[in-house]
Amino acid sequence: MDYSDVQPEARILIIDDSSTSIRLVSHFVRDMGTVHFATSGEMGLKMALDLQPDLILLDMEMPGMDGLDTCRRLKKQRVLENVPVIFITAHSGVDYEVAGFAAGAVDFIGKPLTEMIVRARVRTHLTLKRQGDLLREQAMRDGLTGIHNRRAFDERFLLECRRHRRNPESLGLALIDIDNFKAYNDLYGHQAGDACLREVAQVIDANVRRPGEFAARYGGEEFAVILPHCAGDEVQRFGAFLVSQIRVLALPHEASAAGVVTISVGVIAGKPVAEDAEQQFLSSADAALYRAKAAGRNCVRLAGRE
């Protein structure tokens, strides 16, 4: 079986100051994924943060920020800690290997480069990365609703805030709460409450369609949706649409003034320029959600707009 059938979406980043080495390694792995390259450690770090590669092939000897320092800095980034780094080096010996592994590398490829060796090492670590990703994805799912959980949300939201800060672009966030859910549980029982959570989660997840959009169970009867590249009016329309879609479900709720299950939504959009933008966004969206509740529930409110 050709490796491209196993993981055609693999992203491979080569960091090397030699254009000759980049061309050679790119040629060796050209059919194993999409190949990107950087010619310095500084450029490689920035590209890795933007690209989120599945594998990094890193030259150990580079001017300025060398391979060891680059690897250490890569591994300090939470979003890159699970990306395997393979050193390419002309050096051999225990001391070099110990230093490389201590910096966070998973393997070494010695120079002069041999195509069969390069392909074998790359194939092995892409496969291991894919298996690890599948296990992590399972750990990032909410057991009751099947959508992403709070841990997955925290990681993705941090990533999107950093990405939108670098660009910079407007990022949207929606916090969603099922109205009068405690009363629903008291009236219909926890089994029915679990079924309600699943149905609401499915509707939310089904309406997260654009690239980069991300829905998660935030906790209890609360959900969150990350909306990249969205301005205030767009996130407000999205929130209003979700409110209408939950009403369409027409799940009976005799303890609610609406007679059916409804949601309240707090939304915010803006450029996450501050270092603590994640917390600011969450606090503002939560305040907007509170205003939606105070306004009678079954509605959406935009942070900063009374």
Catalytic sites, residue numbers: 221
Exposure string over 122-133, b if 16+ CB within 10 A, otherwise e: bbebbeebeeee
Nearest to 174 by CA among 221, 242, 220: 242
- Is residue 257 exposed (0-12), middle (13-18) or buried (19+ Cβ within 10 Å)? exposed
- The verdict on whether omega for the bond into residue 168 sits within 30 degrees of 0, i.e. cis, is yes
What are the structure tokens assigned to 299, written together? Answer: 């509605």
Opening angle at CA 223, ends 228 and 287, nearest 5: 80
In angstroms, the CA 100 to CA 92 distance is 11
DSSP state of 113: P
